[in-house]
Amino acid sequence: MKRQRLGTVATSAVSVLGLVGMGLVGGLPASAASKVVIEFAASPIANIGLRSHLISMFNSTHPGIEVKLISEPNNTDTYRAQLVTQISSGSTTPDVFMGDVIWPAQFGHAHLALALSRYLPHTFFKRFAPGLVQGASYHGHVYGAPFFMDAGFFYYRKDLLKKANLPVPHTWEQVVSDSKILQSRHLVKYGYVFQGKAYEGLTCDWMEFMTDAGGKVFGPGGKVAIDSPASLKALTFMRSLITSGISPAAETTFQEAQSMNVFMEGQSAFLRNWDYAYSLSQTGKGTKVKGDVGVEPMPTFQGQSWPGYSNIGGWNLYVNPHTRHLKQDLAFIDWMTGVKAQTFMATFGSEIPTNYTVQKSPKVRAQNPVLNIVSKVRLVPRPSGTPAYPKVSSAIYTNINAALAGSVSPAAALKAAAQGILRATHSGL
């Protein structure tokens, strides 16, 4: 019965799309008999009130729909677990939820999200930048509408490098040597901060270091390959950042917010973070680095061609398969991925838009310097093509964190990570 109900709603939704034409879902008519309330679950975006602004903009132009925000945790793992529990129980809310780009396999496999390609015409998906729709797909269906892109970027203090007459470092070895110079001259407390806590963010950072060193999580034929000399080089280097004092001892507890705070307080010369970090460093409350921040693609190890690898991040918009308001959900998704919303996100929030028209706009690029270097970035994805990815990632970040904390050796951590990944991929979800 559930499939029949969704099929009926889907037919109605497609009819709405057809009536509105190439503009896709423009929202319900203002003369709608009653306002339909849909709930949108999302974790904070850039910590500058971006979600509330977007919702207000949508609600003001769609009188037949009211979107209410359900604010979710910053921690992606906690947020994902909550959604899995809620949707699995049959809850009709949230109607639409913002989710990581790595979720399509798990959520599609477990029927936790609708296959949007069943309800939206193929013309809708042409608005997105190349490669994004493929990343939002699983077994031939698109489960997420790309909302904003993300990647790891290297932020640096222009003023400190100028004082020390140092160029922007392009290798990890230069990051170390420059950090030591700046620290020895008492210009800054720390050299480099990143995300080292045992959570999804550390998997992202790890993918960058490991790939720079020539390592992989999976090799040919899907064989687990994380326990390799290249991975050992990367993990040994990461641990040395902490033991040398270039990165703080508390690095093993840092998520994005903690590393961002250290950088904004002027205590670190270099930062690895996502694209929103530039805007936050310039406009965030209490920032001490306004006007002094530059951004480049990530460094790499000496002997490798620059730039280094940046993990692919970003978020999609998904629809709860139990929603009772599919037409309104599609209207909201259409607007959120349209030119107006995407332009606002790119200029106000320093996010990388998924809408290709906006991404290429000279006016938008002039206001968001991160967009000027996106084409230079060398991307690497997380190994999320398996429904077992949450356990794969947990095996990675738990053991990498243990090595960073010094509770196990890098070699032992990689061996344990390989065993954990093997168990995850053989046991499924």
Return the pLDDT at 13: 42
152-311+381-427: CATH class: alpha beta
How buried is residue 249: exposed, middle or buried, by Cβ count under 10 Å (0-12/13-18/19+)?
A: exposed
pTM for the full predicted model: 0.82
Return the CATH fold of 2-150+312-376.
D-Maltodextrin-Binding Protein; domain 2 (3.40.190)
Return the pLDDT at 203: 98
Type of residue found at 74:
N
How far, in Å, CA of 334 to CA of 332, rounded?
Answer: 5
Return the pLDDT at 28: 42
Type of residue found at 224:
V
Return the pLDDT at 375: 82
How far, in Å, CA of 153 to CA of 298, rounded?
Answer: 6
Return the pLDDT at 374: 87
* pLDDT per residue rounded down to tens, the chain (429 residues): 333 334 334 444 443 444 333 344 444 444 445 899 999 999 998 777 999 999 999 999 999 999 999 999 988 889 999 999 999 999 999 999 999 999 999 999 999 999 999 999 999 999 998 889 988 999 999 999 999 999 999 999 999 999 999 999 999 999 999 999 999 999 999 999 999 999 999 999 999 999 999 999 999 999 999 999 999 999 999 999 999 999 999 999 999 999 999 999 999 999 999 988 998 999 889 999 999 999 999 999 999 999 999 999 999 999 999 999 999 999 999 999 999 999 999 998 889 999 999 999 999 998 887 888 888 999 999 998 889 999 999 999 999 999 999 999 999 999 999 999 999 998 744
DSSP calls for 291-350: T-EEEE---B-TTSPSS-EEEEEEEEEEE-TT-S-HHHHHHHHHHHTSHHHHHHHHHHS-
Return the pLDDT at 33: 52
Contacting residues for 343 by C-beta, under 8 A, at least 6 apart: 353, 358, 361, 364
Type of residue found at 147:
F
Please, where in the chain does CATH 3.40.190.10 lie?
A: 2-150+312-376, 152-311+381-427
Widest distance between CA atoms in the chain: 71
- Strands (E) across 202-327 are located at 268-273, 293-296, 309-319
- Which one, of 61, 87, 62, 60, lies nearest residue 70 by Cα? 87
Q: How many CA atoms lie within 13 A of 7 on its CB side?
A: 4
Return the pLDDT at 47: 75
